[in-house]
Amino acid sequence: MSVKQRLMTLGRHIDEGEREHPEATGDFSGLLSDLAIAVKLIWREVSKAGLIEILGSTDRQNDSGDEIKKLDEFANETIYRAMDHGGHLCVMASEESQGLMKIPDRYPKGKYVLVYDPIDGSSNIDANVSIGSIFGIFRRVTPSGPGTEEDCLQSGYKLAAAAYVIYGSSTIFVYCTGKGVHGFTLDPSVGEFLLSHENMRIPKRGKTYSVNEGNYEKWDANVRNYVDYLKKDDPGTGRPYTSRYVGSLVADLHRNILHGGIFLYPGDKTYPEGKLRLVYECSPLSYIVEHAGGRASDGTGRILDIVPTCIHQRTKLFIGSEEDVKEAEDFIQGRRIA
CB 258, min distance to ligand P6P, A:
17
CB 169, min distance to ligand P6P, A:
18
CB 12 within 8 A of CB 60: no
| 61 makes contact with ligand P6P (CB under 6 A) | no
At 296 the three-state DSSP class reads strand
Closest CB to ligand P6P among residues 204, 224: 224
CB 276, min distance to ligand P6P, A:
6
CB 210, min distance to ligand P6P, A:
8
Q: Which helix (H) or strand (E) holds 11?
A: helix 10-19
Closest CB to ligand P6P among residues 10, 115: 115
Among positions 86, 110, 118, 121, the unique one binding ligand P6P when judged by CB under 6 A:
121
d(CA 198, CA 285): 17
CB 49, min distance to ligand P6P, A:
16
190-195 long-range Cβ contacts below 8 angstroms, 24+ apart: 191/40, 192/9, 192/10, 192/11, 193/9, 193/10, 193/36, 194/5, 194/7, 194/8, 194/9, 194/10, 195/5, 195/6, 195/7, 195/8, 195/9, 195/10, 195/13
CB 275, min distance to ligand P6P, A:
6
Closest CB to ligand P6P among residues 97, 177: 97
176 Cβ contact partners less than 8 Å away, ≥ 6 residues apart: 161, 162, 163, 182, 287, 288, 291, 292
36 Cβ contact partners less than 8 Å away, ≥ 6 residues apart: 10, 11, 173, 193
| Region of 105-113, 116-124, 196-204, 319-327 interacting with ligand P6P (CB under 6 A) | 116-124
What is the DSSP track for 85-107?
SSSSEEEEEETT-SS-EEPPTTS
d(CA 209, CA 255): 10
Number of Cβ atoms within 10 Å of the Cβ of 99: 10
List the interface residues with ligand P6P, window 155-214 (CB under 6 A).
212
List the interface residues with ligand P6P, window 221-250 (CB under 6 A).
247-249
CB 97, min distance to ligand P6P, A:
16
Closest CB to ligand P6P among residues 140, 275: 275
CB 277, min distance to ligand P6P, A:
8
Closest CB to ligand P6P among residues 121, 203: 121
d(CA 284, CA 250): 11
| 282 makes contact with ligand P6P (CB under 6 A) | no
DSSP secondary structure code for residue 189 in this structure: T
Closest CB to ligand P6P among residues 98, 123: 123
| Region of 10-18, 41-49, 75-83, 118-126 interacting with ligand P6P (CB under 6 A) | 118-126
Closest CB to ligand P6P among residues 70, 275: 275
CB 298, min distance to ligand P6P, A:
15
DSSP secondary structure code for residue 215 in this structure: G
Residues in binding contact with ligand P6P, number by CB under 6 A: 9
Closest CB to ligand P6P among residues 86, 121: 121
Among positions 123, 128, 237, 242, the unique one binding ligand P6P when judged by CB under 6 A:
123
Closest CB to ligand P6P among residues 32, 174: 174
CB 139 within 8 A of CB 160: yes
Number of Cβ atoms within 10 Å of the Cβ of 127: 9
What is the DSSP track for 300-321?
SSBGGG---SSTT-EE-EEEES
| 120 makes contact with ligand P6P (CB under 6 A) | yes
Contacting residues toward ligand P6P, per CB under 6 A:
120-121, 123, 212, 247-249, 275-276
